[in-house]
């Protein structure tokens, strides 16, 4: 069982954690354009391969990417569902926030009416 | 300068990191409904106050909340802009991903045409 997927956040802990690093976000950005091999993914980064592999491992553990090995070449693909979960969470906060602003608007309107 | 706001991700590192914890996400969910004091925020959690204060500190450093002290009471408010930044990043990935699916669709269509 993935370390961050403890059920309390439906895996959100691991997804947010995975995306808190600029290298890992860049990998997600690259994979959103299509599958890529480990060496394709590593090329833009000035980083030792074991460190880079660790980043890929964090992304895979969070469920954001999946990989398949053919011969000696491992190819990574984006799994978009965890990004949808983030989106759902963000949308819920926006709904709460907007509702609050609407309530404040109504309150200000009532205060103004009372003063007239 | 906040530790995670190094310019490389426009503060996204710190925002993603702050939201990778279920307690901190719950605080954001609560504050999306309106301001709250430290003790209001701490109430639902079975946690020592210093640990809870540490969570609030992480949220404040990431720019997700702001606080103000009146007498002995500190009140927290949500700052929605960092959530907008996350949203922008997610939307960009969705655009990339959708464009890729469109290209695959077009490719499959062409292959089918060639076979006829």
- Taking residue A99's Cβ as centre, other Cβ atoms within 10 Å add up to 12
Query: For an interface test with A, which of B3, B97, B101 has the most A Cβ atoms less than 10 Å from its Cβ?
Result: B97
ipTM over 0.90: no
Q: What is the percent of chain A where pLDDT is above 90?
A: 75
- Mean pLDDT across A54-71: 97
Q: What is the pLDDT of residues A93-103, one digit of tens each?
A: 999 998 888 88
- Mean pLDDT across A35-61: 96
Tokens of A79: 């799994």
Please tell me which residue of chain A has the smallest CA distance to B83.
A90
pTM assigned to the model = 0.85
Q: What is the pLDDT of residues A14-40, one digit of tens each?
A: 999 999 999 999 999 999 999 999 999
Residues recorded for chain B: 116
CA trace torsion A85, A86, A88, A92 (10° rounding) = 140
Strands (E), A6-90: 36-37, 65-70, 73-78
Specify the pLDDT at position A49.
93
Residue B113 three-state SS: helix
Q: Does B47 touch chain A (CB under 8 A)?
A: no
pLDDT(B7) > 70: no
Specify the pLDDT at position B1.
35
CB-nearest partner of B86 from A80, A90, A92: A90
């Amino acid at each position: 069982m993935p370390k961050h997927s403890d059920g309390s956040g439906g895996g959100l802990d691991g997804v947010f954690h995975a995306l808190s690093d600029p290298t890992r976000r860049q990998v997600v950005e690259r994979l959103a354009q299509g599958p890529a091999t480990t060496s394709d993914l590593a090329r833009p980064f000035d980083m030792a391969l074991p460190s880079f592999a660790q980043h890929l491992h964090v992304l895979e553990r969070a469920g954001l990417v999946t990989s398949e090995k053919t011969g000696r070449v491992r190819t990574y693909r984006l799994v978009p569902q965890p990004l949808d979960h983030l989106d759902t969470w963000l949308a819920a906060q926006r709904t709460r926030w907007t509702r609050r602003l609407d309530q404040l608007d109504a309150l200000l309107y009532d205060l103004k009416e009372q003063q007239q």
